[in-house]
Amino acid sequence: MNDVHAPQASQPESGSGPMFALALAALGIVFGDLGTSPLYALQASFSGTLGVAPTPANVIGIVSLFLWSLILMVSIKYVFVLMQADNHGEGGLLALLALLVGERTRRVTRRSALRWVFIAMFGTAMLYGDGVITPAISVLSAIEGIEVATPAFAHYTVPITVVILVVLFAVQPLGSGRVGVAFGPILAVWFIVIFALGLTSLAQTPAILAAFNPLNGIAFFVHNGFKGFVALGAVVLCLTGGEALYADMGHFGARPIRLAWYCLALPALSVNYLGQGALLLRNAGAADRPFYSLVPSWGVYPMVVLATLATIVASQALISAVFSLTRQAAQLGLSPRVAIKHTSSNTAGQIYLPSLNWVLMVCTIAIVLGFRTSDKLAAAYGIAVSTTMAITTLLFAAFARVRRQWPVWHVALIAGGFMVVDVAFVSANTMKFADGGWLPLGIGALTFLISTSWLIGLRALHRARKDSGLPLAAFIASIAATPPHRVSGTSVFLMAAGDSIPTTLLHHLKHNQVLHEQVILLTLLTHETPWVPLAERYNVRRLEQGFVRIEGHYGYLDTLDVPQLLEQALPRAKCPRYDAMTTTFYLGRDSLSVQTHSFGRGLLLSLFALLRRNELDATEHLGLPPNRVIEMGARLDLA
The one-letter amino acid code at 358 reads W
Beta carbons of 506 and 598 less than 8 angstroms apart = no
Beta carbons of 258 and 26 less than 8 angstroms apart = no
β 485-494/547-555 pair status: unpaired
Average of pLDDT values for 69-90? 87
- At 16 the pLDDT is 40
- At 12 the pLDDT is 37
Nearby residues of 162 by Cβ (< 8 Å), 6 or more positions away: 365, 368, 369
Ranked by mean pLDDT, the top range of 242-251, 266-275, 437-446 is 266-275
Q: Name residue 492's beta-bridge partners.
A: 520, 585
Is the Cα torsion angle 322, 327, 330, 336 positive or negative in sign?
positive
**What angle (nearest 5°) sits at the alpha carbon of residue 469, between those of residues 465 and 475?**
125
CATH 1.20.1740 fits 19-385+407-421+439-457, yes or no: yes
Q: Each residue of 98-156: pLDDT tens digit?
A: 788 765 554 555 667 778 888 888 888 888 887 788 888 888 888 888 777 677 777 88
Neighbours of 525 (CB within 10 A): 11
Three-state DSSP class for residue 351? strand
Q: Is pLDDT above 70 for 613?
A: yes
Beta carbons of 217 and 61 less than 8 angstroms apart = yes
pLDDT level of residue 598 (50, 70, 90 thresholds): confident
The one-letter amino acid code at 573 reads A
Q: Is the pTM of this model over 0.75?
A: yes
What is the domain partition of the chain in residue ranges?
19-385+407-421+439-457, 467-638
β 485-494/514-527 pair status: parallel
Angle between helices 438-464 and 599-614 (to 10 degrees): 90
Beta carbons of 343 and 176 less than 8 angstroms apart = yes
Beta carbons of 468 and 500 less than 8 angstroms apart = yes
Q: Is pLDDT above 60 for 556?
A: yes
Q: What are phi and psi of 592, to 5 degrees?
A: -95, 140
- Which helix (H) or strand (E) segment holds residue 486: the answer is strand 485-494
Q: Each residue of 46-74: pLDDT tens digit?
A: 876 677 899 999 999 999 999 999 999 99
Q: Each residue of 431-467: pLDDT tens digit?
A: 878 778 888 888 888 888 988 898 888 888 877 766 6
Beta carbons of 322 and 298 less than 8 angstroms apart = no
Share of the chain above pLDDT 90, in %: 25
